[in-house]
Amino acid sequence: MPQRRRLFIFLFLGCLTVPIGFIPDLVSDELKAWCLRHLGPSYSLYFIVFYIVGCFVLLAFSGEFRGVFSLSRRTSSRQPGKIAWSQEGIKLLQAALDKLEKAQLVESIEILSELKNPLGDEQLSLLSARLTKYYQDNRIGVLNSEQKETTFNRISKDLFDLIKSIENQLSEGEKEYQQMREAFRQRYRDRLVQKLAFRQPVNLRRMATSEGTSERVAATFLPYSGEAIREEIGKTFLESYGRLLIVGQPGAGKTTLLLQLADRIFDLEPDALPVVLNLATWQSSYRKLETWLENVLAAELSTNKAGARAVLRQTNLILLLDGLDELKEDEAISACLAAIADYGATPGRRFVITCRIEEYKRVQEDARVNLQIEVGPLQGDQLEVELTRMGREQPEALPLLQAIQSDPLLRQAVETPFYLNTLQLLFAGRLPVFTTNDLESRKAEIMDIFVTSKLDDTENKYYPPASAMRWLSFLASRMNERNKVVFELRDLQYDWFKGWPWLEIVVSIFINELVNSLKQYILFMLFIGLSFWMLPSLIVSVQPTRIHRELLFVTGMFCGFVLSVFELAINSIIQFMKKIRPGISTRDFHDWSLTEKLRSINIRWHWTLVFILFVLTTINLLGYLQGVLFFIIIVVLIGLIYFLDQDKNPGIIQIKTPYHRFNASMKVLHFSKLQHFHLRYLLYKKGVLPLRLVDFLNEMSDRHLMETDGATWRFRHRIIQDYFAEKWEEE
């Protein structure tokens, strides 16, 4: 922070300390008498000290306490901006240090500039300028031998301090980076366990293929035979130079293989960060993959869009892009493949794409990868080996083995890993009986029996099977309509239900207006109340008492409340007439910085003039002390509301609990949680969702119909989601 700004803050806080001590004298005689009785004649000092301590606490909480009270102007004391950890950064730092030890300062500065850190570059520019001046002075003979040595040593020391500062940041960054890697690895492992329903994974059969790819592009693929690839998936990824396409039939195990690959990459690439992202949210309007990544990475990496851009620029990111086929439309799939190809035009970028084989064959665009593999059906002898290996460790293994040996249709069905896993769950309990006579009917029968058994089951709580079926069908249909594979509570919106009665629409709009404008209405009520409280001071003949002031303040607040409700009602009716429907939004809260808030304030000249006139008029009408007090109260109120309103942060926090976003929004007085509860109650009355939605979704996860990470949910497989979506009947 520059010295001028520090001095300005000190002067500003100092000027405000004077009127603070006169608050008891201005408020009431009773308060003044209480202060004299309990604090003594010097009670004003207590208020001033309390105010100063409060200011220090505010600065400390803003994260700038050290910066405000540090008057040093040394270049080496300035901390560079945060630098992302990487192996390349460590190598550059060591190379710069080696050059410095050899007294090669110019080369050391050039190496450090490759870190591309804005604030660090600023300091390097200053050091470079000092070094240039030193060489110029040395060349023309301005410096004597002692001055040359002293100047050179100072520049060297400042450069050494900068290197050590960056080294400390990289050390901290490495620790954070490794913690993030471990968190992601555990997340993918947990998801893999839930996807397999706590069953042992089978070795998926993989074959090199070029099906669906044009001959021109297929000719560039790595030379693999058509036989099964026996190397583990991590080795295949490395041999394809980090660009791989995985195709297969529905339920073949593409996502399972992708999660297994993510877990393997953590071992193979110590400085890389594999991130599994679902392509269902891609839209052609993004045009560039980087634009889409800024949005989805913000959620995955617990940062905002600026942070996502920094991660894309500085981190060794490996994109594991799942579900290209979930885009549904061929044009969207082609546009997405084109965007991925443009992204891959930069050397060193690595990615894996999964897609159903039929959807990939249908589009004209090719995936620009080095290898395409297909997850093939499981073979009969492989199944028998796998089930025999599981033996008696899993109760369903031997009964299922006997069933597929005696039932040809069942044997064909379990060639698809999804149906094998589903039958494992079925055979773990009461043995099912099948009656269908063709393969597709048998697969549908497996799904019917599986879903029925899980809806009849009870892990923790009982839900009527018919109601649970309707609730899951509604959820799946709305997720399919919006092309979603992951559900979080914020996704639940009023437009999920069609055919609201007009009264419920008006009430929903009213609540929406209340939530979005609550801070403005609070400010309005406080302003009216304070205006009524100060009203007697404008009349010279009136000598107000404390009771009069309190009554006037309450009256003003009540008038402000009535006017606010009236405006809410009018706005709600207008929006209803214009057919504007409400939406539920959250405002993700981040720790705020005093300096950043001051920078964000942009006051135009005419508002400055109005502000000055308001201050002069208030002081003229109320007198100096009362005018200053009134001015402080109004500024504090407006400042509070302004700062709260500024937290419309476009970034996304990493949610850890279902209501994380809603609870964070309440910190900035945005009570969208009220809208969520209202909507959930309405949907409960319509019979399309349970009242305690979180408990229900967690129960369905325990029954292996869904999976959860503690804050969001998804159906355990897209086949299950489509199954429930087809069961939904619109009223």
Measure Cα distances from 153 to 98, 101, 123, 163, 400 in Å: 16, 12, 17, 15, 78
**Domain limit, last residue, from 342, 376, 410:** 376
Q: What single-letter DSSP state applies at residue 304?
A: -
Same domain, 292 and 317: yes
Mean pLDDT over 341-354 rounds to 91
For 216, half-sphere exposure in the C-beta direction (CA atoms, 13 angstrom radius) is 4
> For 688-701, how does the pLDDT look when each residue is reduced to its tens digit (9 = 90+)?
999 999 999 999 99
Largest Cα–Cα separation, the chain: 105
Handedness of CA 169, 172, 175, 176 (dihedral sign): negative
- Tell me the CATH number at 337: 3.40.50.300
Model pLDDT for residues 58-67, shown as the tens digit of each residue: 555 444 444 4
Tokens 């399309």 -> residue: 688
User: Over the chain, what is the mean pLDDT?
Assistant: 78
Instruction: Identify whether 588 is part of a domain.
Output: no
Higher pLDDT pick, 643 / 43: 43
Q: Which two tokens stand for residue 206?
A: 């993989």
Burial (CB < 10 A; 0-12, 13-18, 19+), residue 179, is: exposed
pLDDT, tens only, 285-339: 888 898 888 888 876 766 667 777 777 777 888 999 998 988 878 888 999 999 9
Is residue 688 domain-resident? no
Neighbours of 505 (CB within 10 A): 17
| Residue 651 confidence (pLDDT) above 60 | no
Rounded mean pLDDT, 189-209:
81
Question: For the chain, what percent of residues have pLDDT higher than 70?
Answer: 74
Which parts of 62-85 fold into alpha helices (H)? 65-69
pLDDT at 634 over 80: no
Output the pLDDT for position 579: 81
Mean pLDDT of 555-583: 82
pLDDT per residue over 209-248, tens digit each? 888 888 888 888 887 655 556 678 889 899 889 999 999 9
* pLDDT in the model for residue 3: 44
In the numeric block, the tokens 């589009």 are attached to 363
Which tokens is 332 given? 């969207």
Please give the residue range of the domain that contains residue 93: 75-177
Domain shared by 318 and 292, yes or no = yes
Q: Are 424 and 386 spatial neighbours (Cβ–Cβ below 8 Å)?
A: no
447 inside domain: no
Q: Are residues 215 and 363 in the same domain?
A: yes
pLDDT band (50, 70, 90) for residue 80: very low
314 in the same domain as 239: yes
pLDDT reported for residue 166: 81
- Please, how many CA atoms are within 13 Å of residue 709, restricted to the half-sphere of its CB? 19
- The answer to whether residues 250 and 137 belong to one domain is no
Cβ 282 vs Cβ 332: under 8 Å = yes
Query: Please, are residues 703 and 454 in contact by the beta-carbon 8 Å criterion?
Result: yes
Domain assignment present for residue 138? The answer is yes
Give the contacts of 38 (CB within 8 A, at least 6 positions apart).
none
Give pLDDT, residue 266: 92
pLDDT tens readout for residues 486-514: 898 989 999 999 888 888 888 888 888 88
Count of helices and strands (H, E) across the chain: 31, 8
Helix 465-481 and helix 693-702, axial crossing angle in degrees, nearest 10: 100
pLDDT tens digits for 112-150? 887 766 656 778 888 888 888 888 888 888 878 888 888
> Is the domain of 79 the same as that of 12?
no
Query: Distance (Å, rounded) from C-alpha 58 to C-alpha 51?
Result: 10
Alpha carbons 450 and 441: distance in angstroms, whole number: 14
Flag whether pLDDT at 642 surpasses 80.
no
473 falls within a domain: no
Residues 214 and 342 in one domain: yes
Q: How many domains does the chain contain in total?
A: 4
Judgement on whether residues 138 and 34 belong to the same structural domain of the protein = no
Last residue of a domain, one of 583, 615, 630: 583
203 and 341 part of one domain: yes
The pLDDT of residue 27 is above 50: yes
Angle between helices 118-140 and 145-195 (to 10 degrees): 160
Structure tokens at 195: 């996807």
Instruction: Measure Cα distances from 488 to 206, 590, 689, 694, 720 in Å.
Output: 34, 20, 14, 10, 18
**Residue 485 covered by a domain:** no
> Is the model's pTM score more than 0.75?
no
Least confident of 21-25, 300-304, 374-378, 506-510: 21-25
Please check whether residue 244 is in contact with residue 373, taking contact to mean a CB–CB distance below 8 angstroms.
yes
Do 31 and 138 belong to one domain?
no
Residue 234: HSE in the Cβ half-sphere, 13 Å Cα cutoff: 11
Q: 229 with 366, same domain?
A: yes
Rg of the Cα trace of the chain?
Answer: 33
State how far the Cα of 442 lies from the Cα of 419, in Å rounded to an integer. 10
pLDDT above 50 for 583: yes
- Of the candidate ranges 32-46, 370-384, 574-588, the one whose mean pLDDT is the lowest: 32-46
Residue where a domain stops, chosen among 526, 556, 583:
583
Q: Would residue 476 count as lying in a domain?
A: no
Contacts of 290 (CB under 8 A, 6+ apart): 312, 343
Residues 239 and 169 grouped into a single domain: no
The verdict on residue 623 lying in a domain is no
pLDDT of amino acid 65: 43
Q: Give pLDDT, residue 590.
A: 44
At residue 578, φ and ψ (nearest 5 deg) are -85, 0
Alpha carbons 299 and 653: distance in angstroms, whole number: 6
